[in-house]
Amino acid sequence: MNVVILDYGSANYHSIVNFLNFSENLNVKISYKKTDIKNSDLLIFPGVGTFDQALHNIKKRKIDKILKKEIRQGKLVLGICLGMQILFEFSDESKCNQIGLSLIKGKTKKLNITNVGWRKLIINKKKFKYFNNLSFYFNHSYFQVCEKKNVLAYVKFSKLKIPAIIKKNNIWGVQFHPENSQLNGKIFIRSIFNQI
């Protein structure tokens, strides 16, 4: 299975590569080459950095169009934290009104206080009840506002219900960091691999 971790300049690539090492039969690459994007079975948008920097680098590397085309044609995608946020339309984080990849409808809003730590998921859809009450590691200053039907799980933080797992067709987005969520992260990523 070919997994490409999209290189947009500023993310925890090494962390994700180390994390994926637990699984056999994976060919993991950190890349922004168009051929690698096309040939991948799973495209991971990593999650450390800022909205503007990530989109700026995607546009600078001229891969925004191919990303949109491949994803619209059904390429399996996992966006982690910021990597999920850039798949949406708008973000409060942008200082220059930058527009996201707009593959899912929704907006990213600022939290008053950073959500750092281990939180238990509350599952919305029966199909994913296995993950109910399992703890995952969160570290984010912005959160997603999107259509309810796409939210599979959320966490409660600062009187808010923060979407934790979002799914729309072939697009998966997670607000937590599976690569930092120990055993639960591994179980989660395996469930994504099972889709292929």
Interacting residues with other proteins (CB under 8 A):
10-15, 18-19, 22, 48-50, 52-53, 82, 113-114, 116-119, 135, 137, 139-141, 177-183, 185-186
Has 147 been annotated as catalytic?
Answer: no
CB of 151: closest distance to other proteins in angstroms?
21
* Catalytic pick among 70, 93, 140, 179: 179
CB of 1: closest distance to other proteins in angstroms?
19
**3-state SS of the chain?**
CEEEEECCCCCCHHHHHHHHCCCCCCEEEEECCHHHHHHCCEEEECCCCCHHHHHHHHHHCCCHHHHHHHHHCCCEEEEECHHHHCCCCEECCCCCCCCCCCCCCEEEEEEEEEEEEEEECEECCHHHHHHCCCEEEEEEEEEEEECHHHEEEEEEECCEEEEEEEEECCEEEECECHHHCHHHHHHHHHHHHCCC
> What's the one-letter identity of residue 42?
L
* Catalytic pick among 14, 70, 81, 147: 81
CB of 21: closest distance to other proteins in angstroms?
8
* Catalytic pick among 93, 140, 146, 177: 177
CB of 74: closest distance to other proteins in angstroms?
29
Has 89 been annotated as catalytic?
Answer: no
* Tokens 């998966």 sit on residue: 172
Nearer to other proteins, 106 or 178 (CB): 178
Nearer to other proteins, 49 or 75 (CB): 49
Has 179 been annotated as catalytic?
Answer: yes
Nearer to other proteins, 49 or 106 (CB): 49
Nearer to other proteins, 70 or 179 (CB): 179
Active site residues: 81, 177, 179
